[in-house]
Amino acid sequence: MRSALVVVAALFCFFTVPDVIAQDSASPALSLSDLDALIAQDEAPQPTLDQSGIVDLTILVAFLSLAVLSFLMKSTTLKYVTMVSAVVYMGFMKGNLVSVVHLFALMEWSFPLFQYNIAWYVLMGFTVVSTVLWGRLYCGRICAFGSLTQLMDRILPSRWRVELPPWIDRRAIYVKYVLLVAVLAYFLVTKDTLVYRYVEPFWMFTLSGSTVMWSLLAALLLTTVFIRNFYCRYLCIVGAGLGLLSNLTVFGIKRWQQCNTCKLCDKECEWGAIQGPKISVSECVRCDDCEILYNDKARCPHWLMIGKKEAKREIPKAP
Ligand code: SF4
Ligand code: SF4
Ligand code: SF4
């Protein structure tokens, strides 16, 4: 498995570095207005909030409401409806995703005009506020790529899945933070926003990319078939940024005293976010799996022990 990781990493470097360098030397440095245009491209801004803009905004608000409702209700069905909507609407129809380009804009403190990009501000505002309130809810069900890989994980046979040894997993999660620093430093030095094409796969929803980009994406998706949520857990720069922001989470996941020894939630977590009684807020995407168990009176040892104690109290004493 270690060698598989090394091969994937080598492929990543082999394909991306020369391309980025070539593109960098061939293109002049981008101006601030180019950057603005790239950021605005995500939302395809209209000159005014006309009827189609209002429809877009309404659908976005409805989608985000569905995501929050599914989360608050802990409804698995609604969660999957949200994920399918994320892939279809946020991904293929609108291309509405938080990207490393937005981190570049944040560094330059350069944002699109509010009156022409209300949907953009709604999505960014929702992402930041929901992350501070609950953690990486954006990753758990709003991001189209994350939803796609989670749906793949549901559909593909579990016997194909390979679990990385814990010692590799525990170290590999830091790769995304290294990439975050490296890409932001690269941008600071070169002002090259186009590097996003090689460090995140979100462009795939536009169905247009170079042969190198499609090859990388194919390698990434193939790896994801065997290692669940591979990109999200180990490589995503946006996920790393949101993971850092998650340390401010107000409403974390509660734990019972029995969680000190019980391993049920640990095994249930697809994101490797539970270690013993502790939940790593930066890795958790609020997928609901452990919270459903937490409230499950038929499976969670906390409730089973309470049930047993109550049953004992109810047994009438022998005369
Ligand atoms: S980690 Fe990245 S790709 Fe995965 S869901 Fe989060 S933002 Fe999307
Ligand atoms: S099943 Fe219950 S006791 Fe066990 S880890 Fe989960 S919440 Fe804790
Ligand atoms: S199972 Fe629990 S800890 Fe793991 S990602 Fe889901 S909500 Fe977070």
Q: Which atom of ligand 1 is nearest to the CA of 98?
A: 7
pLDDT reported for residue 312: 81
Q: Which ligand is nearest to the CA of 240?
A: 1
Angle at 53 between CA 31 and CA 237, to 5 degrees: 50
- Closest C-alpha residue for ligand 3 atom 7: 286
Confidence of residue 1 (pLDDT cuts 50, 70, 90): very low
The answer to whether residues 14 and 105 belong to one domain is yes
CA neighbor of 256 nearest in space, from 238, 244, 274: 274
| Mutation pick for ligand 1 pocket among 232, 235, 271, 284 (CB with most ligand atoms within 8 Å) | 232
Residue 14 pLDDT level (bands cut at 50, 70, 90): very low
Count of domains for the chain: 2
Ligand 3 atom 6: residue of nearest CA:
287
Mean pLDDT of the residues in the chain: 86
Residue nearest to atom 1 of ligand 3 (CA): 269
Residue that is written with structure tokens 């350069």 in the block: 110
Tokens of 146: 């994350």
Residue 53 structure tokens: 């803009």
Q: Is there a single domain that holds both residue 181 and residue 260?
A: no
Averaged over 198-214, what is the pLDDT? 93
Ligand 2 site, CB within 6 A: 256, 258-259, 262, 264-265, 290, 293-294, 300-302
Say yes or no: 167 and 259 in one domain. no
Model pLDDT for residues 47-66, shown as the tens digit of each residue: 556 788 899 999 999 999 99
192 and 312 in a single domain? The answer is: no
Tell me, in angstroms, the distance from the centre of ligand 1 to residue 139's CA.
Answer: 5
Per residue in 146-172, pLDDT (tens digit) is 999 999 999 999 899 999 999 999 999
* Residue 276 and residue 133 in one domain: no
Range of the domain at 67: 2-251
Question: 21 pLDDT exceeds 50?
Answer: no
DSSP-derived 3-state class of residue 274:
strand
Tokens of 296: 């499950």
Last residue of a domain, one of 221, 251, 281: 251
Single residue among 198, 230, 251 that ends a domain in this structure = 251
Q: How much is the pTM?
A: 0.82
CA distances from 14 to 10, 186, 198, 215 (A): 6, 17, 11, 12
266 in the same domain as 181: no
pLDDT at residue 175 above 80?
yes
- In short, whether 268's Cβ falls inside 6 Å of ligand 3 is yes
The residue whose two tokens read 């490393």 is: 100
Last residue of a domain, one of 251, 272, 288: 251
* Banded pLDDT at 25 (limits 50, 70, 90): very low
Statement to judge: residues 197 and 260 lie in one domain: no
Please report the atom of ligand 2 found closest to the CA of residue 263. 5
Is residue 71 over pLDDT 50? yes
The whole-number pLDDT of residue 319 equals: 55
For a mutational test of ligand 1's pocket, the pick from 97, 224, 231, 245, i.e. the residue with the most ligand atoms closer than 8 A to its C-beta, is 231
DSSP 295: T
| CA–centroid distance, residue 236 to ligand 1 (Å) | 6
* 198 and 282 both lie in a single domain: no
Higher pLDDT, 65 or 276: 65
Residue 305 Cα to ligand 1 middle (Å): 38
